[in-house]
A and B are shown apart, each in its own frame.
Chain A
Amino acid sequence: MKSTADKLVDEYLDRLNRELAGFPRARRRELVDEISGHIAEARADLETENEAAMRTLLDRLGDPADIAAEARERPAAPRAKASGWDVVALILLLIGGVIFPREADRDADRPVRPCSADLPANDRDIGRILFRRRGHRDHLHRQRAPW
């Protein structure tokens, strides 16, 4: 027969599994494995295992809904994979000037610096702006970024 402590742990892990239902299998399993490992380690650390001690232990772990919320709230960092905008920005940055040449590029007499008369800004500039925005989002990762 199962002890009360075992039942509490089972209940907790069941709830966690349900909260993580929307996640890919591998991620759900990783989280549930890690947390059941944590529970096993914490249990082994208990001086006396009783219901109160087990409830305290599970309280410290937190509500399974909070754990799932944390998993949802923090998607992979932007660095990990390029978004659609990053790809568009990169393409425009590289070849935007060829596809949409500025007047100034064709006419050497006009100033090369863009001015309000050149508005709307051509797409090469939009590419630069998108990259800057991305750079801002990656503020703390800047050290690793090649640009």
Chain B
Amino acid sequence: MVAPQDALLAQMRRGTLQYCVLALLAEDERYGFDLVRGLAEMDGMVTSEGTIYPLLSRLRRDGLVETTWQESRAGPPRRYYRLTEAGRAALEGFRLEWRRFRDAVDHFVERTARS
């Protein structure tokens, strides 16, 4: 059985993870493994690393990211993911919505916070 806290985190992650991916790619293009490790640096963002790949595939099919193959000195060529203009716009749209949403939730839950 899944603890309620875990289920809540999973739901919140579900809604926001793709925008964290877009935000990481807004800084610089990255290949899959590098991107996954970047996300995993923050505790709680990724539980199963492999599930990032279907997400990346969907972002690509939606035109929010594009990919290029680049040679690697360490081994075979790597597929790099890069933000498109549509991806940048989607990230900016989310950022505005997120601030509003975060402020709204804070408005209610923080006013009775004891710490």
* Distance to closest chain B CB from A114 (angstroms): 32
A5 CB → nearest B CB, Å: 16
Size category, B interface: 20 to 34
12 contacts between A and B (CB under 8 A): A31-B57, A34-B79, A38-B32, A38-B33, A61-B49, A62-B48, A67-B48, A67-B51, A70-B54, A74-B55, A79-B62, A142-B93
A35 at the interface (CB under 8 A from B): yes
Do B33 and A35 touch (CB < 8 A)?
no
Cα–Cα, bound, A30→B57 (Å): 8
Contact B75 A40 (CB under 8 A): yes
Inter-chain CB contacts under 8 Å: number: 86
Q: Which of A62, A139, A143 contacts B47 (CB 8 A)?
A: A62
Chain A contributes a number of interface residues (CB within 8 A of B) equal to 32
Interface of A is mostly: helix
**What's the nearest-Cβ distance from chain B to residue A112, in Å?**
35
Separation of A31 and B79 alpha carbons in the complex (Å): 12
Q: How far is the CB of B46 from chain A (nearest CB, A)?
A: 9
Report if B36 contacts A (CB, 8 A): yes
Are A35 and B53 neighbours in the complex by a CB distance under 8 Å?
yes
Interface hits, A92-147 → B, CB 8 Å: 139-144
| B93 close to A143 (CB less than 8 A) | yes
Does A34 lie within 8 Å of B49, measured CB to CB?
no
